[in-house]
Amino acid sequence: MGNSEPVWGIIGGTGLTAIDSLMVDDTLETETVWGAPSAPLRIGRLGGRKVVFLARHGDPHRIPPHRVNYRANIEALRRAGVDRIIAVNAVGSIHPAMTPSSLVLPDQIIDYTWGRAPSFHEENLEHAVHVDFTWPYSESIRDALRAAAAEVGVACHDGGVYACTQGPRLETAAEIRRLEQDGADIVGMTAMPEAVLAREAELDYACLALVVNWAAGRTSEVITMDDIRSNLDAGIGRVLQVLEACLRAD
C-alpha cells in the first residue's frame, strides 16, 4: 500500500481480545476472497507505532481454534498494510522450566493439525508453489521481543518448539508424552496454519506465547478453566508490557 512507516499487526489469542492502551483511530469490517476475518480490524497506535489489531477467536471469544479462518485473517491484515505480525498465543507447558504465567519466544513448530486450509496456493495454479519454512518465525521480530522483555524486566524463555494440535479438546497425557518425545516444549492449537500463511504472504511473523497451564499429565491435577483464567490474568499484563516496549523501540 506504499506505507513509508512500518505497520505492525498484532493477533490476539485467548485472553487478548482487545488492547486497552491501543489508541484506536478506525475500526474496519472487511471481506476477503477467503471470507471474513475473525473480527473487525482495530487500527490505531501503540507504543508510538501504527498497529492493526485482530482478535483471532473473535470479540467476544467465540471461534474455536480449528474453525478460525486463518486465510481470511492473514489476508485482511496484509490488505490493511501490515508487513510484520506479532501473534500472541496461549499455550500449555511440557518443559519443566516453562511454568504457568511465564512467556516463551518459540523458534520452531511441529504441526499436528489436520483438515485446516494450509495454503493460499491450492487452486487455479499455473505451477505448484512451495515456501521455505525451515525457520518459521522471524528472527528480527524475535530479537525485538527479546530486547523489549529485557528492557521492561520481564522474564522470557528464548527458544522452544511449539507443538500445534487440532483441538478444541485438550490433549491426553499419552499424547503429551509423545509430543515431548518429538522434542516439543509447549503445546497450543493456533500456531498453524497461521504462521505458514504469513510466510506465503511475505509478512514477517513471530509468536509471543503465554503459558496458561501445565500440559496434561505434567501434574497430578486435572486442567481447569479456572486455573487457565488465573494464569491468563497473571501473565497478560506482562505480554502487554513487552508488546508496548517492542513497538516503542522499533
Cell of 54: 485482530
8 A C-beta contact, residue 13 and residue 49 = no
pLDDT at 3 over 80: no
Residue 91 main-chain phi, psi, to 5 deg = -135, 165
Burial state string for 158-190 with b = 16 or more CB within 10 A and e = fewer than 16: eebbbbbbbbeebbeeebbbebbeeebbbbbbb
How far apart are alpha carbons 181 and 184 in whole angstroms? 7
In this prediction the pTM is 0.93
How far apart are alpha carbons 131 and 206 in whole angstroms? 17
Domain 8-118+132-249, what fold?
Rossmann fold (3.40.50)
Q: Which residues belong to the annotated binding site? A: 14, 56-57, 189-190, 213-215
Alpha helices in 23-138 (DSSP H): 70-79
Question: How many residues can be counted in the chain?
Answer: 250
pLDDT at residue number 4: 66
Helix (H) or strand (E) holding 222: none
Alpha helices in the chain (DSSP H): 70-79, 139-151, 173-182, 194-200, 225-249
**Paired sense of beta strands 161-164 and 186-188, if any:** parallel
Q: Which residues belong to the annotated binding site for phosphate? A: 14, 56-57, 190
Using only C-alpha atoms, what is the Rg of the chain?
17
Cell of 128: 505448484
Per-residue pLDDT tens over the stretch 199-250: 999 999 999 999 999 999 999 888 988 999 999 989 999 999 999 999 987 6
Q: Which residues belong to the annotated binding site for substrate? A: 189, 213-215
pLDDT at residue number 2: 45
How far apart are alpha carbons 129 and 220 in whole angstroms? 46
Per-residue pLDDT tens over the stretch 64-95: 999 999 999 999 999 999 999 999 999 999 99
Per-residue pLDDT tens over the stretch 156-193: 999 999 999 999 999 999 999 999 999 999 999 999 99
